[in-house]
A and B are shown apart, each in its own frame.
Chain A
Amino acid sequence: MTNPSRSHILIMVNRDRCGICGCCVPVCPPDAMVLHDAHLDIDHDTCTECLKCIPVCPTNALYQVPADSVLLRRT
Chain B
Amino acid sequence: MLREEYDLLVVGGGPGGSTAALVGAREGLKVLLVDKRQEIGTPVRCAEALGFEQLEPYIAVDDRWIAAWIDAFRIVGPSGKSVRVPPTSPTAVVERKIFDRELANEAARAGATVRAMTRVTDVIRQDGYVVGAKMISLGREMEVRAKITIAADGAESQIGRWAGMKTTPRLEEYYSAAQYLLGGIRLEDPRECQYHVGNEVAPGGYAWVFPKGPDKANVGLVITLTHEKHGRSAQEYLNAFVERLYPEASILTMNLGGIPVGGTLKDIVGDGIMLVGDAAHQAEPVTGGGINLAMFAGDMAAKVAATAIRSGDWSRKKLEAYPAAWNKEHGRAVGAMAKARQIVLKFEDKRYDKLVDLAADLPLDKMSATDIILAVLRHDPSLLLYARGFIIPGI
Contact = CB atoms under 8 A, between A and B. Distances in A.
B174 A27 contact: yes
B158 A58 contact: no
Given A26-B168, A26-B169, A26-B260, A60 B236 contact: yes
A35 B36 CA distance: 11
Contact of A31 (B158, B235, B257): B158
Interface string B149-169: 000001111100100000111
A51 B229 CA distance: 13
A27 B169 contact: yes
B289 to A, nearest CB: 17
B233 interface: yes
A55 B156 CA distance: 16
Interface stretch (A1-9, A17-25, A41-49, A65-73): A17-25
Interface residues of A, number: 22
Interface residues of B, number: 32
Contacts, number: 81
B176 interface: yes
A58 B156 CA distance: 14
Contacts of A25: 156, 158
Nearest to A57: B233
Interface string B214-254: 00000000000111011001111000000000000000001
User: Across chains A and B, which 9 residue pairs bring their CB atoms closest together, nearest first?
Assistant: A22-B156, A23-B258, A21-B256, A58-B234, A55-B230, A55-B225, A60-B233, A58-B178, A19-B256
Interface of A: 19, 21-29, 31, 35, 37, 51-52, 54-60
